[in-house]
Amino acid sequence: MARVYNFSAGPSMLPESVLNRAAEEMLDCNGTGQSVLEMSHRSKAYEPIIYGALDLFREVLSVPDNYKIIFCQGGASTQFAAIPLNFLNGSGKADYVLSGQFSTKAYKEATKYGDIKVVASSKEQNFSCIPELDKANFTPDADYFYICQNNTIYGTRFTELPDTGNVPLIADVSSCFLSEPMDVSKYGVIYGGAQKNVAPAGLTVVIVREDLLGKARDYTPTMLDYKVLADNDSMYNTPPCYSIYMCKLVLEWIKSIGGLEALKIRNEKKAGILYDFLDSSKMFHNPVNPKDRSMMNVTFVTESDELNAKFVKEAAEAGFVNLKGHRSVGGMRASIYNAMPIEGVEKLVAFMSDFEKNN
């Protein structure tokens, strides 16, 4: 069967060359006579995989030396609790920007542990934009300032980071990780689930500035204490070994095609093709404020739920799958992560154009 164009928001497409490499090494990885799925994480055979992945992540993302890279389990949602447990340790205050469902969930989780303030929200605009920020509303002695940098469900993103001064900025970057260069030094912490651009589901990557470590609350579960995980090279317990292996292969692929600068150019081209069509279409419409449009997740609708459903059905039959929007908002969503080729977006736009003519 021919491969389809998979526009899923996650787990998402992986580069075909990575999948082929993993298939080739399934029974024998690096001449060990065993699969990565069978390896002990404490073995000499596995060491070059996990340490290679950590080193590559630092290289590809240009992570400064004073930051620790940690491979975790539990998905990004587990970090909603880990963040306040590790960092809400001074004034007990934190500022949150509510720009979508996941930042709202993170905020609600954090309220269990301290004085959490919503400094801005776009809920009244159905999260169709990034809310305007007023520094006068920021808490001067907050322990941290929290954003979700790219909103997978609503198709918005921060195109400019908030100026938080001496307050550490913490960002959930799950759906924009490794899509373009980032200045890691502007953040106290960045983290994200791997199942968008980095690896299969099961792995979460946390990058923490070292001076923020070691202050977790005394009742923090050991497995949520970032210092414990960092001190043990992400192997306090058995890590998600195969997802880390796949992460390493993806990082090698990114490096081979020119790194994050090259990916940014390619990702901007893909997004431009799709947004240009939506802006010229009489049937399809993108509901997001243009200045806040995501480069990774493109949402769109027609004039009716019936037409939306017809489009999703016919698109799937034509080999364009997982275009149905999130259940909380409906409509359609095309997630065009790193592994989606430009050709896939071009063919989707051609299909959308034909659908519009026929309906």
Mind listing the pLDDT tens digit for each residue in 254-295?
999 999 999 999 999 999 999 999 999 999 999 999 999 999
Q: Say if 5 falls within a structural domain.
A: no
Same domain assignment for residues 300 and 246: no
**Residue ending a domain, choose from 211, 227, 256:** 256
State the pLDDT at residue 7.
98
Tokens of 61: 């993302």
What domain range is 43 assigned to?
Answer: 17-256
Same domain assignment for residues 114 and 215: yes
Collapsing DSSP states into helix, strand and coil, what is residue 70? Answer: strand
Q: What is the CATH number of the domain that holds 69?
A: 3.40.640.10
Sign (positive or negative) of CA dihedral 224, 227, 231, 234:
positive
Same domain assignment for residues 244 and 324: no
Same domain assignment for residues 283 and 134: no
d(C-alpha 120, C-alpha 97), whole Å: 5
Collapsing DSSP states into helix, strand and coil, what is residue 193? Answer: strand
C-alpha distances (whole Å) from 202 to each of 18, 95, 184, 241, 326 are 17, 29, 23, 9, 21
Same domain assignment for residues 275 and 139: no
Q: What is the CATH number of the domain that holds 347?
A: 3.90.1150.10
Same domain assignment for residues 121 and 231: yes
Same domain assignment for residues 321 and 292: yes
Concatenated DSSP letters for 267-329? HHHHHHHHHHHHHH-SS-B--S-GGGB-SSEEEEB-S-HHHHHHHHHHHHHTTEE--BPPTTT
Same domain assignment for residues 169 and 151: yes
Q: How many domains, in total, are found in the chain?
A: 2
Query: Each residue of 284-298: b (16+ CB within 10 Å) or e?
Result: bebbbeeebbbbbbb
State the pLDDT at residue 36.
97
d(C-alpha 161, C-alpha 72), whole Å: 25
Same domain assignment for residues 39 and 161: yes
State the pLDDT at residue 1.
67
Tokens of 320: 């364009």
C-alpha distances (whole Å) from 14 to each of 29, 81, 201, 249, 326 are 19, 29, 11, 10, 21
- What stretches in the chain show pLDDT beneath 50? none
Concatenated DSSP letters for 11-30? S----HHHHHHHHHTSS-ST
Same domain assignment for residues 352 and 237: no
Q: Say if 12 falls within a structural domain.
A: no
Sheet holding 67-72, edge to edge: 67-72, 204-209, 189-193, 169-172, 144-148, 93-98, 115-121
Burial class for 170, CB neighbours closer than 10 Å (0-12, 13-18, 19+) = buried
Q: Say if 249 falls within a structural domain.
A: yes
Q: Say if 8 falls within a structural domain.
A: no
d(C-alpha 255, C-alpha 338), whole Å: 13
**Residue ending a domain, choose from 192, 224, 256:** 256
**Residue ending a domain, choose from 256, 271, 298:** 256
Q: In terms of DSSP bridges, do strands 297-300 and 204-209 run parallel, antiparallel, or are they unpaired? A: unpaired
194: left (phi over 0), alpha (psi -120 to 50) or beta: alpha
Q: Say if 9 falls within a structural domain.
A: no
Same domain assignment for residues 247 and 110: yes
Same domain assignment for residues 49 and 149: yes
